Structure 1
Amino acid sequence: MRDSGVAARALSSKAMSTRTPRRRPRRLRTLAAATLVAGIFCGTAGTGLDVAVAGAQPAATPPFTTPNTDDCPNKVSPPPPIDTSEVPAPGDPAPTPLPVPSPPIGGPKLGQCGVVLPPGVPPVPAEISATGWVIADLNSGRVLAAKDPHGRYRPASTIKTLLAIVALRSLDLTKVVTGTQEDANAEGTRVGIGPGGRYTNKQLMQALIMCSGNDAAHAIAMQLGGVDATVAKMRAEAERLHAMDTRPATPAGLDGPGMSTSPYDLATIFREAMTIPTFAELIHTEQADFPGFPADPKIPGDKDHPGFVIANDNRLLYDFDGDLGGKTGFTDDARQTFVNAAERGGRRLVITLLKADVLPIRPPEQAARLLEWAFAFPPDAYVGSLPDSSRSGSANPSVTLASPPPHDSDQPGDEDTPTHDDLPTYILAGGILVALGLVIAAWWVSGRGRRRR
């Protein structure tokens, strides 16, 4: 099954910066069992959610080896697909590969396909499975280090950052739109939009950015002229940003004919998105209320569907000191993809990972290791530059970044929220409570629990 934005959520606490854990909000602690059953957290609608089973034996895994890209296997096109998602529709020609710019955008060193490091920095951290990655300074645009920076890969849901740029600069966020059955039927991850539900465009953007909702992507695309028109606008924006390895095929990031991006381009796109205050706010938001939708009169016995809480699916937002926010992605062909930014001492870095896997550690932890490593670089250590938003490709040291609202861990409600990592714990606790309730009920019915008169 193809999916988008579901994976790369679980994260070990190893290699994370020390951060005082924040207690879970009282509302979420109280409603944990009910919300898990209802599936209100990001990615539980329309997806296959893997839950650990007590006593299950882990499957044998092959030995891990870091992918080698020294011979530039992805210079022209992404790796061959493993399914039929990129087969053109009948009558449509297969897209030709995008031209490879020469000289390479960002500087000559970024034309290399292996690991690209400035002199004198420590070796790359171990256990990085991402086939291509880039670390760049959001403020200056300098690329600190990279692996196959212009290699072409599939972006999965990380391309929603490009959709967000187009939408946030085009749509009235206060406008209320009505959900459709076509929105609800979107393939892959769905936040839970229902026919007849009423949503502001800001709520749709929350669902898109925080929860990777493909139903939200569809609802947004319909306001931008439809799927084809939206893809055309995303391609035009990529060209404006000089992201010449990038060609969206779908608004949500599901694989399609000709789809590609690169670690370099994804950093460029995310940097541009972070200049939009609403994007910087939403990518940093941990939880939000989301509307429900009315009963379907065509379904016998259907009832109104109440609103629910959505939680950001980027685990680094909760676990990594100074995290500014990021976007996960996954499809069968793209594998794990991830883009994330963090700030330390006034320095803001962005990390992009493409064609990663959960072996030997999950992609967010890989990103955390690479960020910790790069934050220790001296200021003059870099290998190239991101382009500006013109078509010149020159570095832009004066880009103005929006700042997300600060976290205040002492305020009620601004606390760690349950994610998919918490599911086994909550399911076990819920099962114990249900079993205890059944025992008490049986005891009461038998008469032993009633007071004798």
Structure 2
Amino acid sequence: MKHVAPVVVLLAATVFLGGPAHAETEPVGGTHLGERGLIVSQGVKAPPKTAARSYVIADADTGEVLAAKDPHGRFLPASTLKALTALTLIPKLDKDRKVRPSNRAVNEEGSAVGLVSKPIYTVEDLFKAMLLVSGNDAAMALAEANGGLAKTLQDMNSEAKRIQAFDTVAKTPNGLDKPGQSSSAYDLALIARAGLANHDFQRYISMKTDKFPAPKGYYEIGNHNKLLWRYKGMIGVKNGWTSKALGSFVGAARRNGHTIIVSIMRHDGYFWDEVAGLLDWGFANRGKVAPVGRLVDPVPDAAPLPTLPAAPNVSRTSPNPLPTATLGAERGSQTVLHVSIALLGTVLIGGTIWLVYGLRRRPR
């Protein structure tokens, strides 16, 4: 009987804490998507080879993942993270608002559109610069327009959770490498699919060229996504590269009323032809192969809590005070609750002491 109390304590703790702390969970999108190697239905010709460490081929219309390789592997996203920045900020910022970039934004390292610290840009100009020429300076200026870097990163990470992109952690708004920042091929596909549902997002990523404001006039900018220029039906999205992240890409194309999404990560060379091959495979096999997983939908908005009637205002001047019996019952229930909590605390402390005492008395 000397070990009964510790067992009771452990059971009580398990109930109160909601179960084991390290319970296994299924990978987002399906069990197979937790695998590291090539994932494709049996009897189906595998997608063309690619040097990418990780990829996803998905049907954007149905959400079916047609094939994948290490889809939940976490890697540095480079500038593909700008797709999450756009998805997060497009609904929040007035596209006609004028913005004066700070000196910090103007001097942001890496790829840039060439901002100056003058109020000559609209929010829409900055989205185009960020998504067409991958302007790190434009991404920082947008973060400032949203209330600052800290707020924007909080918003981005909240948006990632909303669409269930749980492999994604944003530490910068532009994808410049930073410790702790990550995404996955699965999450990039989720972000792209969510973005395609937004008209402005889709309009920006589909632009091949545009005019960008300058202190005197304007200059032309061109989209860095090479497939926009040479792949039939290409919609766009975003490519990225840093020396640590290597090459990454997420894109979507539409043919005959159907849209295919391809995302890749950790490619150490020229990936455009390989991405085109993965898109071709997706179009050829959509609706024919059994899916290996699914792009999940965003978390639905929580339903509003029902509004409860206001409690009666009990005072000495109240014409209809609550009966004394009712007040006594309420006080009694509160007393029972307090006693129950105190009793549970006593049991937990006593059980812990009992367990320690038993272990010290154990024969060596």
* Alignment correspondent of 1:332: 243
TM-score, normalisation: structure 2: 0.74
| Shift >6 Å, 4+ stretches | none
> How do 1:301-316 and structure 2 match up within 5 A?
306-316=217-227
Measured after TM superposition, the shift of residue 181 of structure 1 is 2.2
Aligned mates of 2:37, 2:25 — CA distance in 1? 18
Amino acid at match of 1:357: D
Q: Give the secondary structure class of the aligned counterpart of 1:283.
A: helix
Given that residues 197 and 291 in structure 1 are in contact (C-alpha distance below 8 angstroms), is that contact kept between their aligned partners in structure 2?
A: no
**C-alpha deviations, 1:261-285, integer Å up to 9, x for none?**
1110110011101111001011001
Measured after TM superposition, the shift of residue 100 of structure 1 is 10
Q: Is 1:165 matched up with 2:87?
A: yes
Measured after TM superposition, the shift of residue 130 of structure 1 is 0.5
How many residue pairs get aligned? The number is 279
Aligned mates of 2:130, 2:286 — CA distance in 1? 36
Aligned mates of 2:237, 2:91 — CA distance in 1? 20
Q: Please point out which of 351, 369, 390 is paired with 2:299.
A: 390
Given that residues 268 and 387 in structure 1 are in contact (C-alpha distance below 8 angstroms), is that contact kept between their aligned partners in structure 2?
A: yes
* Alignment correspondent of 2:211: 289
Change (3 A) 1:242 1:355: same
Amino acid at match of 2:171: A
Q: Which runs of 5+ in 2 are unaligned?
A: 1-21, 302-364
Amino acid at match of 2:294: S
Q: Is 1:123 matched up with 2:46?
A: yes
Could you tell which deviates more after superposition, 262-271 or 374-383? 374-383
Given that residues 241 and 391 in structure 1 are in contact (C-alpha distance below 8 angstroms), is that contact kept between their aligned partners in structure 2?
A: no
> How do 1:306-385 and structure 2 match up within 5 A?
306-358=217-269, 362-381=270-289, 382-385=291-294
Aligned mates of 2:231, 2:279 — CA distance in 1? 10
More contact order relative to length (CA 8 Å, sep ≥ 6):
1
Aligned mates of 2:248, 2:144 — CA distance in 1? 26
* Alignment correspondent of 1:111: 34
Amino acid at match of 2:221: I
* Alignment correspondent of 1:214: 136
Given that residues 66 and 286 in structure 2 are in contact (C-alpha distance below 8 angstroms), is that contact kept between their aligned partners in structure 1?
A: no
Measured after TM superposition, the shift of residue 210 of structure 1 is 1.0
Aligned mates of 1:104, 1:225 — CA distance in 2? 34
Aligned mates of 2:237, 2:30 — CA distance in 1? 26
Given that residues 286 and 317 in structure 1 are in contact (C-alpha distance below 8 angstroms), is that contact kept between their aligned partners in structure 2?
A: yes
* Alignment correspondent of 1:235: 157
Q: Give the secondary structure class of the aligned counterpart of 1:376.
A: helix
Measured after TM superposition, the shift of residue 332 of structure 1 is 1.5
**C-alpha deviations, 1:87-143, integer Å up to 9, x for none?**
xxxxxxxxxxxx9971111111111110000223212313x1100000111111110
* Alignment correspondent of 1:193: 115
Amino acid at match of 2:85: L
TM-score, normalisation: structure 1: 0.60
Amino acid at match of 2:81: I
* Alignment correspondent of 1:265: 187
Q: Which has the larger radius of gyration?
A: 2
Q: Which has the higher helix share?
A: 2
State percent identity of aligned pairs: 39
Q: Give the secondary structure class of the aligned counterpart of 1:354.
A: strand
Q: Is 1:177 matched up with 2:99?
A: yes
**C-alpha deviations, 1:178-227, integer Å up to 9, x for none?**
23322210111101111215101111110011111011001100011211
- Aligned-pair Cα RMSD in Å: 1.7
Measured after TM superposition, the shift of residue 380 of structure 1 is 4.1
Amino acid at match of 2:47: V
